[in-house]
Every structure is written in C-alpha cells, then in structure tokens.
Amino acid sequence: MVRPSFNARDVGQRVSTPNVLAARSGLRALAFLGFGAASVLVGFMACNVQEQGADTGGLGGSLGQGGASPCPRGLAVVLSDYASTQVALVDPSGQTESESLISTASSRTDGLAFALSGDVVLPSTRPESGLVVLLDRFGTNVMTFIDPYSGRVLHQLPVGTGFESNPHDYLEFQGRGYVARFGHNTDPGREPFDGGGDLLVLDLDPPQIAGRLEIPSSSGLPSRPTALSPVGEEIIVTIARIALDFRTTGAAALVVVAPTEERVIETLDLEPYKNCSRATLSPNRQVLAVVCSGALDQDGEVADLGGSGILLLSATERPLELVDELPADELGEGALQPDVAFFSDDILLVKTQTELDSAEDNRLLAVDLVTRSATTLLEARPGDSGQGQGIVYGGLICPDDCAGVCLLADADRRVLQRIGVDADGRPELLTPSAVEERIGLPPIALSPF
C-alpha cells in the first residue's frame, strides 16, 4: 500500500558540499519512484545531524493487547529531508499519536546499534507481527524492528551480506519475512546469501537470514525486485529491469513466488511498460492494479510516455493476464508515478510523475475506471523559482474495508492530506493533518502497523 527514487550515486555522480541544496531539490523530484534515495547526498549531509528534540516514544500498552485484528492499529509515517529522518505514529484518520517514535538523533536508544540514515522507507504491506519495520537502504542496508507500544527497538538486522543490497520492500507472510533487494553484487560468492536481485528469506523469532530466492535476469538486464504483494497463497513481486550502469531500462515484470516451494512459478512481462508499482488488490478482491511510470532520466522526466500507464489484472485467475490497460497518453494527464491506491472498486488514486523544474506541478488524480477519465484532487505549489518542485507527493494509502480515510504524504505543504467520501461516493479532500510541528521535516512515506 504504499510506496516511494532514482539514485545520483547509481550513475556515478558526486555531490560536493556547495551543491548540496541543488542536489536536495533534485532528490525531491526523484525520491518517491522506488529505486532508493540518492545516498551520495545523504552521505554528505547526515553525518552532522544534531538532535532537535526528544523522542515522544510509543503508544503505551503492549504489543498484541487487542489480539489479532484484520485492521491496522495505525500508521507509521517517515518524515525526512534525506539527511535527517523521523518516524511518527498516527491513527487511521491521520491524527498524530506520537510525533517521534524514533529519529536520526536516537543513536542512544536502547537496542539501537545502527543509527537511522536519511534514506529510510517502510514496508508496503502491514507486517503480521504488528511491529513497525524500517528499511534503511543504500549505504546502510539494515532493517529495524520496533514495538510501536513501548517504542523499544527490539531487533536490528543487517541485510547487505557484503554488498550494497539496497532493500526496497519487506513482507511478513506465512510466518516468514521476505526482503526485496534491489541491488546486485558483481562479485558474489564471498559470503552466504550475497547475490542480490533477490528475495532474502528471514526467520522471524528472532529475525535472522534463512535463505535467498533468486529472481532470474532477462534480456541481459538484471532483475531488480522493488515491491511485494501477498495474494492468496502467493507473493507477487514487481520487478524493474535496469542495467548495472542504469543507462538502460527494460520492460517491467510481475513474478509469482510460491513461498512453500521457495521458487518462482510464473513471470508476466509487462512490455512496453517500465518502472511499475506493486500489484495492489481492489476492495472486492477481484482485481490487481499496477501503475507504471516509464523510463526516467536523472530529473525524473519520462521521455517515452508509451511506458507509462495503468494496468489491471485478475486477482483470481492464473496465469496472470492483463484484463485492461489505460495508457498514460490515453488518460491525458502525463506520466504517472509507480504508486496506486483503490479508493473504491471503480476509482483509483494515482499521482503524476513530475520532473524537477517542470512547467507542471505534482498532482493527485482520481481515475474513474468506468469512464476512463481523471480528475485532479490536489496540485502542488511551484517552487521558489516559479517552476515545479518535482515529486512532492509520497506515500498513498486507503483503508480498504477498515475505518479511516485515504492518506497522502504531502512534502510540499508538510502535512498528511486526508481524502474522504462525498455525498456521491466520490473522493473529496478533508482538512489535512500536520504530523508534527517541532522539527518540521516533511512526510514522505506511510505504512500500516
């Protein structure tokens, strides 16, 4: 349910201190695309982060106090400027319950061996354990497991295994954990589980590496797992196919994994679509939606709109097969971000893929699948230069059958945008929620717990 970035370091760029502010603006344009935040910049900026207020701790009570529930207790929110990171907790309506469960300044927290970097993301699916799980990506390659009630760090697990694994998503499924590792190791075999481009398999009590499931490459391009979706007894893995030097992007794919057999049982190529979202299940459990951006340049621009669009698949039939598609050029709103939420069975919430310094501003769209049309619900403000800020709309979640509202991380206005239902059953903007106002970091990512 969430999820979102191209890396300056992936194409060998260096960011020097005089260019930090410009580079930070570039990150904003690219940082929600799902390919890892630009950790070159993080490396230059995060080392001097100073504590700016004490953590506010957990929710109180104890883990599992209400028993197993099909609905989340709340949501974790990552607030970050890609130098400092703070994780807050909100309820399903978007109201803040803890402004700072943990932060970059929490290096002395009991149980925290690895301090948080500026490149932290969240799982796209609610963990079965009820824990808040953080994925610290390129340059750190560490997972952190936190009790949201006590606020204690229970475990940390390095998942780099000797290389920059760049973990992108995490799923707890049938009693095990699965980590989507975007990075590739060009010299594997030096230590166990060091191949990359795979699913790292975890035992969970306590979290420890138990194995890996390799995702085969195709057409000379390495497979890069970006997102995980549980559907029935299977896991659907979204694959980006991007060259090691990041100069070539191939068609995306959906890979079906049978966890009990620990193998890939099916692959669906999504030609001509590139850089796609997780497969998101509709409220009636009949349809899977995938949204693709197309191939991106360093500014987040999509040169070929033919690689962007909305794809619909049957959630109940195998093998996987497209049942409908809405190309971005037909929709007429430009390229789309690889992220999607079902507002209802017939209405999707999606975001535009907006490059830095564009004449366009980032937009939140409601797409009616019946009329095949889009309505703009929200538009970001231009930057100080009068040009577009790039991507400022991040994590996007709808409550499905549970109580709550749809939430959007809005780094432009530094709030959670709240989307409810109007009298006609269509989406309408509600009063936004400020997650915290002491430090003022913008919200960028969301995940239920």
Contacts of 249 (CB under 8 A, 6+ apart): 240, 241, 242, 243, 274, 275, 295, 296
Residue 168 neighbours by CB distance under 10 Å: 28
Give the residue among 300, 291, 444 at the shortest CA–CA distance from 361: 300
- Token pair of 85 as six digits: 């990171």
Give the C-alpha separation, 51 to 53, whole Å. Answer: 6
Give the residue among 147, 129, 157 at the shortest CA–CA distance from 69: 129
How deeply is 283 buried, as exposed, middle or buried, from its count of CB atoms within 10 A (0-12, 13-18, 19+)?
middle
Residue type, position 304, single letter? D
pLDDT at 399: 96
pLDDT at 34: 44
Give the C-alpha separation, 309 to 223, whole Å. Answer: 21
pLDDT at 64: 76
Length of the chain: 449
For the chain, list residues with pLDDT below 50.
Answer: 1-51, 108-109
pLDDT at 16: 27
Give the residue among 357, 329, 351 at the shortest CA–CA distance from 406: 351
Domain boundaries along the sequence of the chain: 9-448
Go through 71-97 and write b for each residue having 16 or more CB atoms within 10 A of its CB, e for each that does not. Answer: ebbbbbbbbbbbbbbbbbbbbbbbebb
Residue 425 neighbours by CB distance under 10 Å: 10
Q: Which CATH superfamily, name and number, covers 9-448?
A: YVTN repeat-like/Quinoprotein amine dehydrogenase (2.130.10.10)
| Contact between residue 174 and residue 259 where contact means Cβ atoms under 8 Å apart | yes
CA dihedral 285, 345, 266, 124 (to 10 degrees): -90
